[in-house]
Structure 1
Amino acid sequence: MKYQTIAGLLTLTLLYGCSSSDKVVPDVPPSQLYSESQESLQSGNWQTAIKKLEALDSRYPFGAYSKQVQLNLIYAYYKSDDYAMALATSQRFVRLNPTHPQIDWVLYMRGLIYMAQDRNFVQEFVGMDRSDRDPEPAKSAFADFKKLLKRYPNSLYAKDAKKRMESLKHRIADYDLATADFYLRRKAYIAAINRAQEIQKTYPDTQAARKSIPIELKAYQALGLKKPIERTKKLMELNPVK
């Protein structure tokens, strides 16, 4: 008797779950479901849009709306701060549709997603400078924007991508500067010199490049290398920190 009661409750629970799901995303024609998802997107109701788009994606993976549904999902996931799903969906789209006419937009969005992952809202809110945090998302964003500019120089998104690359360049250079300073403080002088010189070579027009020269000088002084010390002093004079 007890087994029957538990089984009955389980059945009711499953039925209720299915019923709730059906209420959220009813079994309607794809054209209607797509239209409803568009309305949700336009009104900024991201979670509702995602549920409807996911239903379309799973029910009609090869339907007339399939590619646009995936593009809309990338945007909806991004706007709802679900960066993991936004990234996975954009990567899948690029892999399956390498020649799609909106690939430039997907690359642009993927760059934005990586930038969002790199951002630390708590640190920004309290004004903390954490240039030492992992720069991999920033590097990935930079790579996607660079790919966009190379492949689609006339894209509508090229101008903004270029501006964002400039910001990302300084972000990555600042991380390398923090790393060079860390090596110096740990008395890993050769590593500090190598990282400083890499900054100067790769990001010569950044403040980080100028700030890396004193680090290089201190490392040479610690090693007692006279000629590199004199050369680096001259380099500092030509590139003062602004």
Structure 2
Amino acid sequence: MSHVGSVVVKKAVRVAGLCVLMSVAGVLASCQSDPDIDITKLAAETDPPEVLYNQGLANIKAGNMSEAARKFDAVDAQHPFSEWSRKSLVMSTFTKYRLGRYADAIATGNRYMNLYPKSEDAAYAQYLVGLSYWKQISSVTQDQKNSVKTIEAMQRVVDEFPNSEYVDDAQAKIRFARDQLAGKEMQVGRYYLERKEYLASIQRFRVVVERYPNTNQIEEALARLVEAYYAMGVVQEAQTAAAVLGHNYPDSQWYADSYQLLQKGGLEPRENAGSWIARAGKQLLTGS
């Protein structure tokens, strides 16, 4: 199991209540072989909330996530705004996330956050929302709306729950999503560059340099600016991009390639302090 998966499951156990989970172990022993059967034998969804909740936990232990989600949703539907409903909303978010029903997990997690934003499990619920967006991030050749949503959701974890155990992974997920957004800009920029639509390509590379400087795309973005500006004959900007690249990443292969390109024209990296690239280079140095 991955580190993220382990953290999610361990927290779910804590939310559920380990003693309750252990108490149903005997019931589960005879039910592990058929994950499609509700081990609570289709008990009425109008049962008391604690009964439905414990049935949900029993189904989790048996691996019946769909049935577990149904039980937790029944608690919320039949006994809204109760303490059992609050606990069930967290567990429902967890089970839907584990089922890969990410849209449902997000909706349930957001409902929890709207109702109980300051509760002890709020950080976990918000983290599950972020993970559900993160799981849906696609390759850079496709739409990156889930990268944007991941950043928004995980930034809320960082800002509102800075002492929670999820902050480190939330920040890692933010970095990944930003890399994806920068990668999308690079993918489009390269498309224009290959077709010699230099101004259009420069606009995309500029977004990476100014908006996503601390991503894994920054070295190539600067090198592509050298390439595009050089092809247009705008040598001062090409030289500046190379100078910023060399100053920040002197051992980069992208810098070596950019330096070689300038040398072909009898040029070398040289920073023009008035260039937007030079100003962006200062941001790289300060880490902002």
> Under a length normalisation based on structure 2, what TM-score does the superposition of the two structures give?
0.66
Q: Deviations over 1:57-114 (max 9, x none)?
A: 2222233311111111100110011111111111222223333332211221111000
Per mean C-alpha deviation after superposition, the further-off stretch among 160-169 and 107-116 is 160-169
Deviations 1:138-196 (A, max 9, x none): 22112222221122211121122122223333222222211221232344422321221
DSSP-derived class of the 1:173 partner: helix
Gaps of at least 5 residues in structure 2 are 1-39, 255-288
Query: Are 1:229 and 2:238 matched, yes or no?
Result: yes
Please say which of residues 191-200 and 46-55 is displaced more in the overlay.
191-200
Which residue does 2:11 correspond to in 1? none
Aligned equivalent of 1:208, options 211, 214, 217: 217
Q: Distance in 2 between matches of 1:181 and 1:211?
A: 10
Matched, 1:46 2:65: yes
Query: How far, CA to CA, are the matches of 1:207 and 1:163 in structure 2?
Result: 13
Q: Partner of 2:158 in structure 1?
A: 149
Give the aligned partner of residue 101 of structure 1. Answer: 120
8 A Cα contact 1:25 1:55, kept in partner = no
Question: Do structure 1's residue 138 and structure 2's residue 138 form an aligned pair?
Answer: no
Partner of 1:55: 74
1:144–1:188 Cα change, 3 Å:
same
Moved more, 89-98 or 102-111: 89-98
Instruction: Give a deviation string over 1:30-49, Cα, whole Å, max 9, x none.
Output: 22111111122233320110
Q: 51, 63, 69: which one pairs with 1:32?
A: 51
Contact 1:211 1:241 (C-alpha < 8 Å) held by counterparts: no
Structure 1: give runs of 5+ residues left out of the alignment. Answer: 1-21, 120-129
Give matches, 1:159-198, under 5 Å: 159-198=168-207
> In the aligned structure 1, how far is the partner of 2:72 from the partner of 2:217?
44
Instruction: Pick closer, same or farther for the CA change 1:117–1:183 going to 2, 3 Å.
Output: same
For the 8 Å contact 1:138–1:172, the answer to whether it is kept is yes
| More helix as a share of residues | 1
Q: How does 1:8-23 map to 2 (within 5 A)?
A: none
The equivalent residue for 2:5 is none
Q: Distance in 1 between matches of 2:239 and 2:52?
A: 71
8 Å contact kept, 2:134–2:146: yes
Which deviates more from structure 2 when the two are superposed, residues 201-210 or residues 152-161? Answer: 201-210
Change (3 A) 1:225 1:53: same
Q: Which amino acid aligns with 2:96?
A: Y
Match of 1:17? none
CA distance in 2, matches of 1:150, 1:212: 30
Q: 1:235 to 1:112 in 2, by over 3 A?
A: same
Sequence identity of aligned pairs in percent?
24
CA contact (8 A) 2:192 2:198 kept: yes
From 90, 93, 104, the equivalent of 1:85 is 104
* SS, match of residue 218 in structure 2: helix
Residue identity opposite 2:232 in structure 1: L
> How many Å separate the matches in 1 of 2:195 and 2:115?
47
- 8 A contact 1:25–1:52 mirrored in 2: no
Greater than 4 Å deviation, 4+ residue runs = none
Q: How does 1:65-80 map to 2 (within 5 A)?
A: 65-80=84-99
The answer on whether the counterparts of 1:192 and 1:219 sit within 8 Å (CA) in structure 2 is yes
